[in-house]
Amino acid sequence: MRAPVLMLILIFLITLSGCSTKKSLPIEELPSNDNELHPKEVSPSSFEIEQIMKLASKGMVIDSPFNVFESSIQQVKSSWGEPEQIDEVAGGSYATYKERNTVFGFNPEGEIYDLRSYNENLRELTMEKVEHELGQPKDMRKNNQESIYVYELQNNTELKFIISSNTKRVDHISIYNPARIKTQQYVLDIKGNSNQLTDKAWRSMQNWRVQIKKFTTEHNNVYLNGPNKKMVALTFDDGPDETITPAIIDVLNDYNVKGNFFFLGSNVKLHPEVVKKAYESGHLVLSHSFNHVELTRLGKGEVEKEIKGAGEEIQSVIGKMPAILRTPYGDTNDQVVNVSKEQGYSIVLWSIDTLDWSQKDATNIVKNVVGNVRNGDIILMHSDSDKMETEKALPLIIEALEKMNYEIVDLETLLNIKAYQ
């Protein structure tokens, strides 16, 4: 019996030795860290969201040693070389390092204010998981292609999760420092053409456009356009009348879009029911002076009378005094600005002129908008009695803008100023 027992013991020891040899590795072949022993899962974990937040608090994103507080694009180029491409935008530029999954937004001085990571692991991250870990965002912006969830950090920066509308997952993240772009002015050139203008009239208009753009940069209560965001405002001068203005209100209502009506005090007096309809439909009722005269040719007392008279006429109908004025013909000077400010008004002009008062043709009106539209544009149209082509063009403009993912808003929203006093 002893021989079989000894044989069994010997077989067991040989087997054990073989298993041990199979599992053992020389010390130099051991993985260098726990991550290699336990590779990361493709799907970001709660810990990784925590890491994203930790980096964001330092102005950083994954895959990049740079930050939005101190780093410059010169430092990036010195370390990483030239980017694959640079895209120019209003107020800054964006440099793409595709192989490093990183994009840098930088201002004219080269300071980085926006850092974006396109790390492919982010695409396994759903918004539900982000909200579970971080709570509801401070702000959410949405269009047909993406949703942007914005979390505000203690250092006044923003962490943004950009969600694809197709996949419902994170496409990329951005850490954004507005302090590095706050001194930049986003002022657009005024666009719009008409084949009905003489060469002399066109040169005069071009000269005025250059001068008024410079003028707006020197006065903090005069606006040509809104901020560099995917929003625009539709504005209508010279009403109300009894046919075109009500028709335009109906179109705006049908599309659930807010409009901005710069009414003349003299016309408000003639058609108060139209003014009331515009206001009760949720559109802004604003001032275009009382008589549509060139305010820059008047004395101070006459300017005061024009502005005050229109405001009081509007107030008598809607119960509110407007706080936004559009000067007739856009004519504006220091005296007009000062009087407006004294009476509680901001002056809002335009960055796209449809020239519906010159070339009264729906095709050209639409072309002037669709062919020129940019972030923050304020679009000038008219709603007085001979603007049938404007009424005809309006649905086409709204549909085109929405197809281009522009949000159509009122001036109060676009400019973050009061519509009424």
**Residue 237 bears catalytic tag:** yes
Catalytic residue among 114, 171, 237, 410: 237
CB distance 106 to 72 below 8 Å: yes
Q: How far apart are CA 69 and CA 177, in angstroms?
A: 7
Q: How far apart are CA 197 and CA 159, in angstroms?
A: 49
Residue 251: CB atoms within 10 A of its CB come to: 17
Give me the amino acid identity at 366.
Answer: V
Catalytic residue among 288, 382, 384, 410: 382
CB distance 107 to 177 below 8 Å: no
Pairing of strands 85-89, 92-97: antiparallel
Per-residue DSSP letters for 207-272? HHHHHHHHHHHT-TTEES---SSSEEEEEEES---SSHHHHHHHHHHHTT---EEEE-HHHHHH-H
CB distance 128 to 82 below 8 Å: no
Q: How far apart are CA 353 and CA 335, in angstroms?
A: 25
**Residue 63 bears catalytic tag:** no
Q: Summarize the chain as % helix, strand, coil (round to 5).
A: 40, 20, 40
Measured CA to CA in angstroms, residue 312 lies from 195, 241, 250, 266, 307 at distances of 39, 19, 26, 11, 9
Longest dimension (CA), the chain: 129
Q: How far apart are CA 52 and CA 260, in angstroms?
A: 42
How close are the terminal C-alpha atoms of the chain, in Å? 110
Q: How far apart are CA 164 and CA 145, in angstroms?
A: 6
Q: How far apart are CA 363 and CA 380, in angstroms?
A: 16
Task: Show which residues are catalytic.
Answer: 237, 382
